[in-house]
Structure 1
């Protein structure tokens, strides 16, 4: 079975994303809670959410506005941390036939300026906390001050800028916009959002995602997760960044489509997170590996009742087997990993709960609580199976030859959720999207190294560009990180290859200890020895161990290995220069 796909097929409607969402909010559902902002207590019902989206879309499209009204395909930037306004604005932009580009609120001005310029943003919505950065960026790209709008700010604190609240008031007095009823071609080719990739391997790339792409991924996720997003019943905690497609997909699209309540969290704090789980009896925790690690390693959760939670859905980066096991042993919470990328709209695979067959499904129907509390070692450390309408294959990285079960190679993905192209980057598009000779669409080269077993369950072993090359052997950093996280003193870890004249690269571990006071040369040697006993000789930590206060990571939780590699490369070059000088 060289090409793996789900046994389930779903039909994707040809419509706009926002009307796909808003059509779900029928009159009898308008009183259901939609969004609650944890830091301010602000909340919206679905009726208020819908009317606010309509109002903001009218104000954006108004020809008398400072920007002359946005039109089909005009790009609107959003530079803000998580807030309720973000959710309304995103769908307001799309309802006005515009395209959103969401920027990381931790960007410096040059990074933001690049995205504004590259995406061609006509307006920029900014949170007051990052206004100074936005103004510097706006000056660099000559974006007029009149095209900057403040989010989440009262008129009294507007600092002379137009506010989101003012636009809502203006929009409420304007005529409704015509409905958007896309044809199949329009749905597949109209760009809904241009998010930018994390840039862990270089400058960020804009990813063009169509309305059809995102609607596909919403339905792909819901087809598998429909029992976990109960209308008017379930609550999800939206702490994942809304500018990132993991948070965007789950909390701006899946949650309102499912009509569940989403608690918006501006900044992750473990104690506050546990308090929200306890108060709202949250069942499903959507997390990224760094916060899962924090949950299992910290003593903070001991002060809270987390008994309502039975499943963690983890994504954005691989979660090690040892962490999954510790999560189960400590809380009786099982983890189900999802795998994907911005280029896949969000998700391409998920660990299915029902792969054990009819008997387990029957047990679940009669006693769902006991079913959810079962530990499934078969799926431990895997990313599950392809979502509906997704095809996966594993390819030899050099020849592109399709590989079979248990053969490790680069994972390629094809499906209705795959991006249109990289924005303004034909070269990158051609390198990443490979047309299929059978005419079934392009394959996306994910850059992830993995394999699948005879049942079609996939496992990620590493990133193609992150593999360490030691004397011709390939060493996956994620494997060594998983081993080290099993040590009782280790809180977090990142492994990279450091330059070596003889061996090409040596594996080196950067480690955060639970107790930083324990850092010593003796402990470093102990950790090197600990790994030596658990891996093949070529995977040993010949580059040593270095203790850090924290591991550098992106907002989505991915380890920024590039920063560590650059640091080590500079040290290596400095040593080489010194050696040459001595000679």
Structure 2
């Protein structure tokens, strides 16, 4: 079965009730009937533009309740949908367009000029740039093809070109990898795989058939985590509220939205745990403002056990869950998450998932309980990277009974609990004096300093021996007017970590740390940072 047939076979009990609410525009909602009409009418319109079967159509937009309705329309027209990572840099947008072989690009009016420049750089003709103007926002009046005009078509004209095709062989999505250590790659997600991911989430540990969650999407919607949550609402498993993506400074506003809409479930990236706690402790907001929250899941990067412990202490009534997954392999572990006494713990591996742990250099399987590179095999694993045979070769372990995807993460299964435990990331781990150093461990310690808002570290050539490396830190102050020196940071870390983990390679005070959608540090951009006054 193809994804669109699966989607349209799950009508809601009351198709007029909202499945999605715009948390930024009062009264703007999306019902099942409106969703279906948007998918079918826009698909019919795209077919009339002669979109080739399996042609790629991208969207560059802010968070919006119709975001994946447009995506599903692209798929319903026989295309492949590519949610673009938003960026203000033309070169980065052009790279995405080229990497995903995008043929047509929708862009919101706010991002249209950027989209046009990026498209020109990528060699996409001007006539292939459309405007994303969904219902409930200002209608586009220009001459370009736009969503509002496509939606005026008769949706009975639509025919599903995916019917009868092998769902494993036709792609539904090209989703970009995080790009934290290298340029983002376009992961191909088949119809079969996407159905498996949506179905798993509707039946997995996060589901609750007795209580339809009111879930809030507030991180960038192009990320796969938001895509999975969005489609839980589309198939009637929860009601979705969507707001613009938030930064740390927006935590009070985020809490206000949770209170206003009686949100019961949301995802909080690890980077946001301490800012949420601080917002309560300093009296900016109260625990009562989050009294409707039942479940909070955290993932996307390493969860600091110190932050998780504080979050649980401040919000003992909220069920805190640690999650683990990747764009390429879907979500495949969930559980209690780490604490001070059990750092790195995630939880149980999902039933349809196989894991093994290998030495990343020899590929020999690790013994039970020993660390190795986490490799995963399941129906949720993607088909491969688009037009990137080199990455595909290096990212999979071949096996006659089914290939294994190499996550690049370091971990093991606890011999007693069988919980997945993550201990680092091989692509980011470096060695000093033959000892392994995980950057996030040092970053978490630096951010415990009362004067520091954010931090990231890198290995740099050691001053005393250019053949060796030492730690260099990049830090952001909470208050630029307060004095804190590099020596202060070095001394602070030295009281908490082994000497080889102390940032003796320097401390750079900067304006911000480059992070992706789920607030992972984008390390390849750290060296571009301009130092500001310390």
Counterpart of 1:48?
Answer: 34
- The whole-number CA distance in structure 2 between the counterparts of 1:397 and 1:102 is 31
Report how far residue 426 of structure 1 moved: 0.6
CA separation of 1:491 and 1:229: change in aligned 2, threshold 3 A: farther
Map 1:456-535 onto structure 2 (within 5 A): 456-500=418-462, 502=465, 504-521=468-485, 524-535=486-497
Give runs of aligned pairs for residues 188-337 of structure 1, distance below 5 A. 188-225=168-205, 227-228=207-208, 233-251=212-230, 253-268=231-246, 269-298=250-279, 299=282, 300-302=284-286, 305-332=289-316, 333-337=318-322
Native 8 Å contact 1:382 1:457 kept in 2? yes
- Determine if contact 1:85/1:152 at 8 Å carries over to the other structure: no
Aligned to 1:162, what secondary structure does the other structure show?
Answer: coil
Closer/same/farther in 2, CA of residues 18 and 379 from structure 1, 3 Å limit = farther
**What is the alpha-carbon distance in structure 2 between the residues aligned to residue 395 and residue 247 of structure 1?**
30
Question: Equivalent residue for 1:10?
Answer: none
1:381 positional shift: 4.0
Could you give the per-residue CA deviations for residues 316-339 of structure 1, whole angstroms, max 9, x where no partner exists? 111100110111122223431211
Q: What is the alpha-carbon distance in structure 1 between the residues aligned to residue 106 and residue 4 of structure 2?
A: 19
Cα RMSD over matched residues? 2.6
The equivalent of 2:150 in structure 1 is 167
Number of aligned residues: 518
1:349 equivalent to 2:349? Answer no
Measure how far apart 1:166 and its partner are: 0.8
> Are residues 563 and 141 of structure 1, via their aligned partners in 2, closer, same or farther at CA, if it must alter by over 3 Å?
closer
Change (3 A) 1:548 1:71: same
Structure 1 spans left out of the alignment, 5+ residues: 1-14, 354-374, 571-583
In 2, Cα distance between the equivalents of 1:277 and 1:33?
A: 18
Which structure has the highest helix share of the two? 1
How far residue 182 of structure 1 moved from its aligned partner, in angstroms, is 4.5
Q: TM-score, normalised by structure 2?
A: 0.90
Aligned position for 2:359: 396
Q: 1:152 to 1:294 in 2, by over 3 A?
A: farther
Does residue 24 of structure 1 match 2:6?
no
Q: Which has the higher relative contact order, 1 or 2, with Cα contacts under 8 A spaced 6 or more apart?
A: 1
Q: Match of 1:129?
A: 110
Question: What secondary structure does 1:273 align onto?
Answer: helix
Match of 2:501 among 539, 542, 550: 539
8 Å CA contact 2:451, 2:484 repeated in 1: no
SS at match of 2:19: strand
Question: Contact 1:221 / 1:387 at 8 angstroms: preserved in 2?
Answer: no
Deviation for aligned residue 1:236:
0.8
- Conservation of the 8 A alpha-carbon contact between 1:351 and 1:379: no
Task: Work out the CA distance in 2 between the residues paired with 1:229 and 1:58.
Answer: 35
8 Å Cα contact 1:434-1:443 kept in structure 2: yes
Residue 104 of structure 1: CA displacement? 1.3
Q: How far, CA to CA, are the matches of 1:249 and 1:545 in structure 2?
A: 39
Query: Are positions 1:558 and 2:520 aligned together?
Result: yes
Where does residue 96 of structure 1 map in the other structure? 77
Mapped to 1, the partners of 2:139 and 2:229 lie a distance apart of: 33
Q: 2:403 aligns with which of 423, 442, 446?
A: 442
Whether the 8 Å CA contact 1:461–1:479 is kept in 2: the answer is no
Of residues 304-313 and 317-326 in structure 1, the stretch that sits farther from structure 2 once superposed is 304-313
CA deviation string 1:237-292 (max 9, x = no partner): 111222221211222x2232243211111232322321121122222221212233
Deviation at 1:302?
A: 3.0
Q: Deviations over 1:107-130 (max 9, x none)?
A: 522322232233222221111111
Alpha carbons of structure 1 residues 335 and 147: separation in structure 2 relative to 1, 3 Å = same
Normalising by structure 1, report the TM-score.
0.82
Deviations 1:502-534 (A, max 9, x none): 26211233233433333322xx43443333233
Q: Could you tell me how far apart the structure 2 residues matched to 1:181 and 1:210 are?
A: 14
Alpha-carbon shift at residue 40 of structure 1 (Å): 2.1
Residue 131 of structure 1 and its aligned partner are, at CA, apart by: 0.6
8 Å contact kept, 1:337–1:351: yes
Cα distance change on mapping 1:135 and 1:229 into 2, 3 Å: farther
Kindly indicate whether the alpha-carbon contact (under 8 Å) linking 1:83 and 1:152 is maintained by their aligned counterparts in 2. no
Partner of 1:8: none
Shift of 1:30: 0.7
In 1, Cα distance between equivalents of 2:210 and 2:128: 40
For 1:403 and 1:30, how far apart are their aligned partners in 2? Answer: 51
Q: Residues 380, 158 of structure 1: CA spacing in aligned structure 2 closer, same or farther, 3 A cutoff?
A: farther
User: How far is 1:178 from its partner?
Assistant: 4.2
Q: Do the aligned residues in 1 keep the contact of 2:224 with 2:327 (CA within 8 Å)?
A: yes
Question: CA 1:509 to 1:451, structure 2 compared with 1: closer, same or farther past 3 Å?
Answer: farther
Instruction: Answer whether contact 2:52 2:79 (CA < 8 A) is retained.
Output: yes
Cα distance in 1 for residues equivalent to 2:390 and 2:140: 45
* 2: CA distance, partners of 1:307 / 1:379: 27
Q: 1:389 & 1:289 partners in 2: Cα distance?
A: 26
Q: Which of 49, 59, 68 matches 2:45?
A: 59
**1:191, distance to aligned residue in structure 2 (A):** 0.6
Q: Following the alignment from structure 2 to structure 1, what is the Cα–Cα distance between the partners of residues 311 and 102?
A: 43
